Amino acid sequence: MALNSGSSHLLPAPQGELFELPLRRLQPTQFCLGLAEVRARANDFRLESIESRRRYLKSRPVPVAVSSAGEHWMIDRHHRLRALLDVDPAGTVFCAVVLELKGASRLHCLEELNRRGWLYLQDGQGNGPYAPEQLPRSLEAMQDDPYRSLVWKLKQEGLIRAQPAVPFHEFHWGAWLRQQALPSFSSSELDPALAQARLMVRSRAGSGIP
């Protein structure tokens, strides 16, 4: 799979103080996510008090790139904030600016984010890469990718280790699993593929994933 080949995936240090922004103002930098993870995170949010939720969100601010026109792109936290949107559609989130984009053109800004390696341009079926300007403009418009859900479940079980230093680590695993002969499954029903997927990620073939 051709993942983004941008020159640098590393985020610079945040610029300035944290600020609050309505969830609906944030634009994704990915086409897809795994709805199984979204539903699990939404259930966790529902169990928290509003005060606890705000403390949690403030401790994990969303890294954003902002354009001269005032558009905000979230560089991370897609699953978490898509879940929060289900729980509190009018909610706000704490953000930290990691890049100020010079210019108001949406196309120019997205091309700059892509050059930095901050966009994931495959869709929920593994097709792509698409042009940056085709990215969804809202969290609600993101597609479900059941293979991302499967990777999340395997991470929960400790079979796939988190590697924050490896860009798009979960997407690498999802793309690899998509190439395997797995039974039909969905984000709502992972069980048909789980037993075989567990064996695969333990296998020698799976050991080549970064």
pLDDT in tens, 9-24: 667 777 779 999 999 9
Residue 64 near residue 57 (C-beta atoms within 8 A): no
Compute the average pLDDT of residues 95-116: 93
Task: Identify the band that residue 176 occupies on the pLDDT scale cut at 50, 70 and 90.
Answer: very high
The confidence score (pLDDT) of residue 208 equals 61
The confidence score (pLDDT) of residue 189 equals 97
3-class secondary structure, 18: strand
CA distance 66 to 70: 6
Q: Directed axis angle between helix 146-156 and helix 35-47, to 10°?
A: 60
- The answer to whether 15-138 and 146-208 have equal CATH topology is no
- For the ranges 92-101, 155-164, 197-206, the maximum mean pLDDT occurs at 92-101
Would you state the CATH architecture of domain 15-138? Alpha-Beta Complex (3.90)
As a whole-number percent, the residues of the chain with pLDDT over 70 amount to 90
Domain residue extents for the chain? 15-138, 146-208
**pLDDT for residue 30 is more than 90:** yes
> Rounded mean pLDDT of the chain?
90
Query: Which amino acid is residue 186, in one-letter code?
Result: S
The confidence score (pLDDT) of residue 16 equals 78
Pair of tokens at residue 122: 């495959």
Would you state the CATH architecture of domain 146-208? Orthogonal Bundle (1.10)
Q: Please state, as a whole number, how many other Cβ atoms lie within 10 Å of the Cβ of residue 16.
A: 8
For 78-100, write each residue's pLDDT tens digit. 999 999 999 999 999 999 999 99
Task: Identify the band that residue 40 occupies on the pLDDT scale cut at 50, 70 and 90.
Answer: very high
CA distance 27 to 139: 7
